């Protein structure tokens, strides 16, 4: 794609000019955006870049392995893998308000970054995979009143105490363009084609308070759902699909016994930029088979529902 080749060259030049001989640290989330930003910046300034992958304990199944493998082994990019799950889950204990969750996670991220920046001898710059829609949405809906819909933890600048400048080479791009750029940079298709994943991770897919037990149930249900979607050949037709663990238990029957377990909500939407979205019209046979698999394979779940809300009025994530 010639447009992206030109963008790549220009972006690399801009990064070199901005950064000079400075050190950059880049937070990887496991998503496409931060990965593409990191690879682009590495191409521009090589080992002046250190990537930091914070495992907040809110990742999908096998996510940490995938990211570490891609960066260390595929690209040979210096990567610090921080397991901060105890700290995050500890501070999130008993927190059920969505904005408090987001702000807590955002604050802890900054704390962890600050520590890591110090460890590598003081980075001057912080790189982020902020996209154009992130920039607009955290300000307001276009033309609407200036209301924060959700606090995106990767947007909004950093506290002054951090004393770091932002490098955001994807700020003008939409998601589909980031994918084209990722391919241009040689990222594996399985990674480039991944559905978006929010910085606050599974915390915002687990309405109510978060526990390790709930997160494990959610991770397993989500993995079965995504496996079903891939096997049906639908993954690339969907912008984003994921499971949500509802903070409610319902009664069911299995064998001769009564069960009293959690409800899993399934979400799948089509979209071009995440700003508006339509629910994906799965056929009922697919949904039925998926519900059966989740209930059979995931302990702690006895009911599955499908979300048929579009955006607006719903948002894609549940929090
Ligand atoms: P909503 O739920 O607002 O989400 O319709 C729109 C898109 O943004 C993703 N999202 C986030 N991404 N940090 C991120 O990096 C965040 O805090 C965040 N919140 C939502 C969401 O997954 C969807 O793709």
Alpha carbon distance 116, 126 (integer Å): 11
pLDDT digits (tens, 9 = 90+) for 185-235: 999 998 899 998 988 999 999 999 999 999 999 999 999 999 999 999 999
- Same domain for 166 and 48, yes or no, is yes
Question: In this predicted model, which residue has the larger pLDDT, 158 or 179?
Answer: 179
What number is the ipTM of this complex? 0.99
Total tally of structural domains belonging to the chain: 2
Q: From the CB of 152, is ligand 1 less than 6 Å away? A: yes
- Same domain for 158 and 14, yes or no, is yes
Domain range for 152: 2-192
What is the DSSP secondary-structure string of 40-98? HHHHHHGGGEEEEEEE-S-PPTTHHHHHHIIIIIII---EEEEE-HHHHHHHHTT---H
The DSSP secondary-structure symbol of 196 reads: P
* Predicted TM-score of the model (pTM): 0.88
pLDDT at 140: 40
Q: From the CB of 309, is ligand 1 less than 6 Å away? A: no
Alpha carbon distance 154, 18 (integer Å): 20
Calculate how far, in angstroms, residue 272's C-alpha sits from the geometric centre of ligand 1: 13
Residue 315: inside a domain: no
- Same domain for 216 and 186, yes or no, is no
Ligand 1 pocket: which of 59, 138, 196, 206 to mutate (most atoms <8 Å of CB)?
196
Supply the CATH number for residue 287's domain.
3.30.300.10
Q: From the CB of 87, is ligand 1 less than 6 Å away? A: no
Number of the ligand 1 atom closest to the C-alpha atom of 271: 24
> Annotated binding residue at 96?
no
């Amino acid at each position: 794609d010639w447009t992206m080749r030109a963008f790549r060259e220009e972006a690399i030049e801009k990064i070199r000019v901005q950064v000079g001989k400075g050190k950059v640290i880049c937070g990887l989330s496991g998503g496409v955006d931060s990965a593409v930003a990191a690879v682009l910046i590495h191409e521009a300034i090589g080992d002046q870049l250190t990537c930091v992958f914070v495992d907040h304990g809110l990742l999908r199944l096998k996510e940490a392995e995938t990211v570490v493998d891609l960066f260390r082994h595929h690209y040979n990019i210096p990567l610090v893998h921080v397991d901060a799950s105890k700290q995050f889950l500890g501070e999130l204990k008993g927190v059920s308000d969505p904005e408090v969750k987001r702000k807590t996670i955002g604050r802890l991220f900054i704390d962890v970054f600050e520590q890591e920046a110090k460890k590598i001898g003081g980075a001057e710059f912080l790189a982020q995979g902020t996209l154009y829609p992130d920039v607009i949405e955290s300000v307001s809906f276009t033309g609407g009143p200036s209301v924060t819909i959700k606090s995106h933890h990767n947007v909004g600048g950093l506290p002054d105490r951090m004393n770091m400048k932002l490098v955001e080479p994807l700020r003008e791009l939409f998601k589909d363009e980031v994918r084209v750029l990722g391919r241009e940079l040689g990222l594996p298709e399985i990674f480039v084609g991944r559905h978006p994943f929010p910085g606050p991770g599974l915390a915002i897919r687990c309405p109510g308070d978060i526990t390790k037990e709930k997160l494990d149930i959610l991770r397993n249900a989500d993995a079965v759902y995504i496996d079903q979607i891939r096997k049906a050949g639908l993954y690339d037709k969907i912008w984003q699909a994921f499971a949500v663990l509802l903070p409610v238990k319902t009664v069911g029957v299995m064998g001769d016994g009564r069960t009293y377990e959690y409800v899993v909500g399934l979400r799948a939407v089509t979209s071009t930029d995440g700003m508006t979205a339509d629910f994906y019209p799965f056929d009922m046979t697919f949904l039925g088979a998926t519900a059966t698999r989740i209930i059979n394979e995931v302990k702690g779940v006895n009911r599955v529902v499908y979300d048929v809300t579009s955006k607006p009025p719903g948002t894609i994530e549940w929090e």
